[in-house]
Amino acid sequence: MHKFDLTMEHITKVEGNASLRLKVENGKVIDVKFAIDEYKRFFTEAMKGKAVAAIPQHLARICGTCSNAHVMCAIEACENALGIEPSAQTKLLRALTMHGLIIRDHALHLYLFSLPDIYGVDAFLDLDENIPEYHQILHDGFDTKSAGNYLATLIAGRSVHANYPVIGGYLHFPDGAGIEEAIAKLKSIRPAVLRLIDIFRNAPFHFDRKTKYMALVPDGNFGYTGGTIITSKNESYGRDKFREHLEHVVLPYSQASAYIYQGEDYMVGSLARVNLAKDKLHPHTKESAKDTLALFPSTDIFHNNLAQAIEILHSVDESIDVLTANEFKPEPVIKVEFKEATGIGVIEAPRGTLYHKVVIGADGIVKEGEVVVPTGQNQINIERDIGTLVNGLLLKPEFAEDNDETKAKIAHEIEMLIRAYDPCMSCATHFLKVEWIKVS
Amino acid sequence: MIRFNQMDTTSTETKVYPKIKLGWFSFSCCEDNTVVMTEVMNDHWQEWKKIFDFRHVRVMKSKNIMDEFDVAFIEGAMAGPEQEEQVKKIRSISKKLVAVGACAVTGLPSGQRNNFTAEQKESIDFLITRFGALPSVKKVSDVVTVDVEIPGCPMSPKMFLEKVNALVAELRSSQ
C-alpha cells in the first residue's frame, strides 16, 4: 500500500511558479496543497496614489502573457468609474485586441506547453522536422503564434503590454496595408487551426469531473468583452456586483487568493465559455468545427485545451470579418473629467473571467483597487482534481509498484492535468521538479 | 532580419561550431520577456534549433539540465533569499550572464514595495514575514555580476536579437 509525501517544486511549462505537496497514506491521498509560489508584487497596494491614467499600464505588469487582457479590463474599470462610453470604433478595436491576444496566447499554450505531451516529447522544438507530420506541426505552431502576434501588434501596438489602447480610445489606428496583411495571415493559418482542433479532439487524455462553470457571456456574438456573467446553474450577475457572488478563500500556503461560488469550487476559462456560449460562435467556426462542437458542453477538463483551439478559430473568423467590413479612421481620445467614483471592469481573459475594481478620488488619484484573476478562481478546482486523479491512478495495476518509475509517472500525469487548466501563476506554465519523501 | 550563421563561410575551410548552451531563468516578474522571446522565436526557430542547446528553459521543457551555460538569461528581480542563492549558482556556471527586462535591470516594477510609504510597508509586513521574502527586492546586479543588460518593459525584440547576435559572435571567436 502506497504511503508517501510528494513535494513538487517549480511546476514547469506554466506561467510563473507553482508547487505541490501531496500526502498519501494507505494508498489514498489524504492531503493536497497546490500552492502558487510567485512572490507577491503588491500591484493593488501600489495602485494607491497613482493617477487614474496610469492604471491600465500599471496593472498590465501583473502578467506578461495576459497583459493585454489586464489593459482592457483596467480601461473598462476606469471608464466605468468616470462615466465614459467608448465609441463604436473603439469597441471594435478592443474586440480585435482581445482576438489577437486569444490567438497568440492559446497558441503558445497549446503548441509549446501541451502538445509535447500528446507527441511524447519533452519540448515542442524536439519534434523532428524531417518527419512530414511534425514538420507541418512545427510550422503551424509558429505561424499561428505569429499571426496572433501580428494582429495584436497592428491593433494594440504590442502583443505584450499594449501601448495604443488608453482610457477613452486608442492612440494609433491600423492602416490599410497592415489590415490587408493581417487578413492574409489570418486566412493562411485557418487550415493549421483546423488541424490543431483535430489533434486535441483525438488527444488520449481525459479527466471527467462535474463542476460549475462561469463566464462573461456577451449579448451578441461569442467574445471576451461586455455582456453578463452566466453560470452553468442558469444564474446571471451584472458586472456591478463585482465579485459579491464569489467567496474569497485564504490558502495559508499559497501566495494567491482563491475563490469559491456558493460554497463550492467552480471553473472559468475556455471550457466554461464554450460550454456556456457555443451557440454564439462565428458561423464559419460552427460549420468547420461542427462535429467537435457536438462534444460540448463537456465535463472533461482536458477539453479545456480543445475549447482553446476552437476559440482560436473563432477569433480568426471574427477578426477577418471585422477587418474586412470596417475602415478605421483616426478619432480623438475621449476627454476625462475626474470625479469621485468607483468603477468595475469585467472581461474574459484567455484563462477566464478577470475582474478589476478601481476607486478614484475627485482629483483623479486612485484611492484603492482590487483584482481577481482567473487562476485564483480555478485554484481550488485544480487542487481537488489532483487528489481525485492520484487516487484513481493508485488503483491501476501500472501504478501498483511503489518505486521511482511510478512516482515519475504520477508526477507527469499531475503536470498534464495542471496544464489542461492552463494556469497562469504570474497570473502560470513551469514544470514540476518533484521531490519524493517517504513517510516512515 | 538578423540571422545567425551556423557555419563560418568567410574562411576557405568550413568550421562547424558546437551548440551554444543556453539557460533562461525567471524570477519575480510578469514574465513578459519570456513571452517576447517565444514570439521572436516565431521567425528564428529553425536557426535557433541548429545553433542553440536550450539546456534549461522551464517554460519550454521539463527535462532541464543545470550544469553549465554559455549564456544565462535572467528575467525578474530577486524577492526571496532562495532566489538570491539560485542566481549566484547560475552565475557560477555561466560564461555570460544577461539581465533581461526592467525588473532584472532596475528591480522595478516587481520591487515597487521598496518605495511604499511606512504605512503601506506596515500593512504588507505580515505577508513578507509569512512567505519569508527579502526585506527589499533586489535587481540582478545587486546580487551578481551582470555581463549584458537588455532593458525594457518588455525588452525590445530588436535589441534582444542584436545582443544575442553579439554574444554568439563573441563566444564563437573563442571557439
Q: Supply the Cα-derived Rg of chain A in whole angstroms.
A: 22
| Domain residue spans of chain A | 1-37+402-440, 39-372
Residue A46 and residue B59: Cβ atoms within 8 Å? no
| Residues in B touching A63 (Cβ below 8 Å) | 30-31
Of the options 3.30.300.20, 1.10.645.10, 3.20.20.70, 3.40.50.300, the CATH number for the domain spanning A39-372: 1.10.645.10
Q: How confident is the model at residue A169 (pLDDT cuts 50, 70, 90)?
A: very high
Q: What pLDDT, on the 0 to 100 scale, is given for residue A252?
A: 61
Q: DSSP state, A111?
A: I
| Residues in A touching B131 (Cβ below 8 Å) | 39-40, 255
Place of cell 503601506: B120
Q: Kindly report the CA angle at B69 between B66 and B72, in degrees rounded to 5?
A: 95
- Looking at A161-240, list the stretches that DSSP marks H as alpha helix, in order from N- to C-terminal side: 176-201
Residue A2: pLDDT above 90? no
Each residue's pLDDT tens digit, A182-223:
999 999 999 999 999 999 999 999 999 888 999 999 999 999
Which stretch of A20-24, A423-427, B44-48, B75-79 has the lowest confidence by average pLDDT? A423-427
Q: What pLDDT, on the 0 to 100 scale, is given for residue A430?
A: 27
- List Cβ neighbours of A358 (8 Å cut-off, separation of 6 or more): A47, A52, A55, A74, A77, A78, A81, A342, A343, A345, A366, A369
Q: What pLDDT, on the 0 to 100 scale, is given for residue A406?
A: 84
Q: Give the C-alpha separation, B24 to B1, whole Å.
A: 23
Q: Give the C-alpha separation, A349 to A297, whole Å.
A: 20
Q: Give the C-alpha separation, B153 to A130, whole Å.
A: 38
Name the residue of chain B whose CA is nearest to A127's CA. Answer: B49
Q: What pLDDT, on the 0 to 100 scale, is given for residue B147?
A: 98
For an interface test with B, give the residue of A11, A39, A104, A124 to mutate (most B CBs within 10 A): A39
Residue B60 and residue A125: Cβ atoms within 8 Å? yes
Each residue's pLDDT tens digit, A119-133:
999 999 999 999 999
Chain A, residues 337-376, CB within 8 A of chain B, namely none
3-state per-residue secondary structure call for A71-105: HHHHHHHHHHHHCCCCCHHHHHHHHHHHHHHHHHH
| Residue range A86-110: mean pLDDT, rounded | 97
| Dihedral sign (CA B28, B30, B34, B36) | negative
The 10 Å Cβ neighbour count of residue A240 is 10
- Counting one residue from chain A and one from chain B, the pairs whose CB atoms sit within 8 A come to 134
Is the bond preceding A297 in cis, omega lying within 30 degrees of 0? yes
CA B27 to mean position of chain CA atoms: 9
| Residues in B touching A109 (Cβ below 8 Å) | none
Q: Kindly report the CA angle at B107 between B79 and B119, in degrees rounded to 5?
A: 70
What does the CA dihedral A166, A170, A171, A177 come to, rounded to 10 degrees?
Answer: 150
Give which of A143, A126, A148, A152 is closest to A192, Cα–Cα. Answer: A143
| Domain residue spans of chain B | 19-173
Q: Enter the ipTM.
A: 0.91
Residue B1: pLDDT above 60? no
The class level of CATH for B19-173 reads alpha beta
Nine-digit cell string for A423: 494556469
